[in-house]
Amino acid sequence: MPSPHCGVAGLALAGLLCACTPNNASAPAQAAPGAATTPRAVHVTTVAEETWERSVAATGELAPMEQVVVATKVPGRLATLKADLGQRVRRGEVLATLESRDYEFRQAQAAATLAGARAVLGLAEQGVGEYVTDESAAVKLALAELEQARLERERAQTLARDGVDSQARLDSAEASFRAAESRVQEARELVESRRALVMQREAELEIARAQLAETTLEAPFDGAIVARHSATGAYLAIGDGVLELVRLDPLRLALSVPERDAGLLQVGQRVRAEIEGVERELEGGLVRLSPVLSERSRALRVEAEFANPDGSLRPGAFARARIVIDPTSRTLTVPAAALLEFAGIDKVFLVKDGRAEERRVTLGRRGDGRAEVLEGLQAGDVVVLEPGNLTTGTAVRAE
Angle in degrees, CA 228, 233, 237, rounded to 5: 75
Pairing mode of beta strands 282-293, 40-46: unpaired
Q: Do residues 229 and 243 make contact, with C-beta atoms less than 8 angstroms apart?
A: yes
Angle in degrees, CA 371, 374, 376, rounded to 5: 100
Q: State the virtual CA torsion across 19, 23, 26, 31 in degrees, nearest 10.
A: 130
pLDDT in tens, the chain (399 residues): 444 443 433 433 334 333 434 444 333 334 344 445 788 888 888 888 888 778 888 888 889 989 999 999 999 999 999 999 989 999 999 999 999 999 999 999 999 998 888 887 776 655 555 565 666 677 778 888 888 888 878 887 787 777 766 777 777 878 888 888 888 888 778 877 888 888 888 899 999 999 999 999 999 999 999 999 999 999 999 999 999 999 988 999 999 888 888 888 889 899 989 887 787 888 899 999 989 888 888 888 999 999 888 888 888 888 888 898 888 888 888 888 888 888 888 899 888 888 888 889 988 888 888 888 888 888 888 888 888 888 888 888 887
pTM of the predicted protein model: 0.59
Angle in degrees, CA 100, 101, 107, rounded to 5: 90
Residue 292, classified by CB atoms within 10 Å of its CB into exposed (0-12), middle (13-18) or buried (19+), is exposed
Q: In 107-265, which ranges are E strands?
A: 216-218, 223-228, 235-236, 241-258
Q: Residues of 33-69 as b/e, b for ≥16 C-beta within 10 angstroms?
A: eeeeeeeeebebeebeeeebbbbbebebebbbbeebe
* Helix-helix angle 137-162:167-213, to 10 degrees: 170
Residue 360, classified by CB atoms within 10 Å of its CB into exposed (0-12), middle (13-18) or buried (19+), is exposed
